[in-house]
Amino acid sequence: MTVTVRYTCPHCGAVVSVERPPDLADRSVTKVRQPGWDYADPTDPDRESADGIEFLCGEDGTVTDLEGESVEGCGRPFYLNFVRYEQGVELDPDPPTYGGPRFDFNA
């Protein structure tokens, strides 16, 4: 089972949708990569085993505005960062991220 999850591009506000398992371990969406983290392509079937997903706004599928109308993305990369553990301890991103993940569920 999967759910459609929507992520907002932090550069332009466009929304990207991706099918994901319902047991998410998302930490944040950022404009920059986390040093040393491995990012998967949104279409990679093994993306959940990576440290996060790298999106190219407007190039990785259809993007919409918050109301669901099609828009052009800005073409810039942004990063979904998963919660990450090392030896059972949750790692903090570097640079730190603030606030919660920027996503919502679309039933």
pLDDT (tens digit, 9 = 90+) per residue, 2-24?
Answer: 898 999 999 999 999 899 988 88
Angle at 100 between CA 93 and CA 49, to 5 degrees: 55
Report the amino acid identity of residue 38: D
Question: What does the DSSP assignment read for 38-82?
Answer: -EE-TT-TTGGGSSEEEEETTTSS-EE-TTS-EE-----EEEEEE
Query: Considering the entire predicted model, what is its pTM?
Result: 0.78
pLDDT tens-digit readout, 36-59: 889 999 999 999 999 999 999 988
Structure tokens at 92: 């903090």
Looking at residue 1, what is its pLDDT?
87
Element housing 26 (H / E): strand 26-30
* pLDDT tens digits, 25-35: 888 999 999 88
